[in-house]
Amino acid sequence: MTPEEVGERLVHLLATDDPEKGTVTTEVSGGGPRHARAVVDVPVARWWFAAEAARDAGALGFDFFDWLSAVDELDGGFSVVAHLWSTRRRHGVLLRTRVSRQDPEVESLVDLYPGATWHERETFEMFGITFARHPDLRPLLLPPGFEGHPLRKEFVLAARVAKPWPGAKEPGESEGGGAKRAPVRPPGVPDPNEWGPLKGQAPPAPERERRAPRRTE
């Protein structure tokens, strides 16, 4: 089946006359003929049911769970995306839903796809999205007591502020020595004079310099 046919088939399987259940829509991702996928957007309340319909061997037969992650859409909440694959029919689908920033929760797919366990734990840890009925949402990658969710866009990238650079030279310094230039603050890293252990004590870090436009003949 083509990506268009896969998307239309899943939309048909989820069709309902109840407007309160929300609308299911489909589009096709980029990637060209060999890599394009049907992208099916479903309301968060129908996330589990959509995965169940996709798995049905008599319909689309998505028997393999490939991966799951999320995208921080800022005021729009979070997009949760799962890639499912049919090992027999050799077609795939990107199943997508949107959860709010105030209540980021979606149904776990572990009972349908046991392989989702690790992916949901990672997404919970990195984005703070709860997967209802997941059997074990323990921390997976971060150390005990870690605060915050590193893949949220408001998360402060503060490692260079909290502790000094461990190498002998700052990144970009040459081996030839010479005068040491002031370190440039990378994007996403706060000014150490405004955040961190040296707040109010350190001189402001310089902003990243803009490169001059390249001359063309």
pLDDT in tens, 12-50: 999 988 888 899 999 999 988 889 999 999 999 999 999
Is there a single domain that holds both residue 128 and residue 157? no
Output the pTM of the full model.
Answer: 0.75
For residue 173, being part of any structural domain is answered with no
Indicate whether 143 belongs to any domain: no
Is the pLDDT reported for residue 96 higher than 90? Answer: yes
Flag whether pLDDT at 163 surpasses 90.
Answer: no
Domain that holds residue 120: 3-132
Count: domains in the chain: 2
86 and 160 part of one domain: no
Q: Is residue 175 part of a domain?
A: no
Assess whether 54 and 160 both reside in one domain: no
Would you say residue 53 lies in a domain? yes
Q: Is residue 174 part of a domain?
A: no
- If asked whether residues 124 and 160 sit together in one domain, one would say no
HEC assignment per residue over the chain: CCHHHHHHHHHHHCCCCCHHHCCCEEEECCCCCCCCCEEEECCHHHHHHHHHHHHCCCCCCCCEEEEEEEEECHHHCEEEEEEEECCCCCCEEEEEEEECCCCCEEECCCCCCCCHHHHHHHHHHHHCCEEECCCCCCCCCCCCCCCCCCCCCCCCCCHHHHCCCCCCCCCCCCCCCCCCCCCCCCCCCCCCCCCCCCCCCCCCCCCCCCCCCCCCC
pLDDT for 165 equals: 61
Q: Tell me, yes or no, whether 121 lies in a domain.
A: yes
CATH code, domain with 112: 3.30.460.80
Residues 26 and 128 in one domain: yes
Indicate if 111 and 162 belong to the same structural domain.
no
User: Whole-angstrom Cα distance, residue 95 to residue 42?
Assistant: 8
Whether 17 and 49 share a structural domain: yes
Q: With contact defined as beta carbons under 8 Å apart, do 37 and 31 qualify?
A: yes
How confident is the model at residue 206, as a pLDDT? Answer: 55
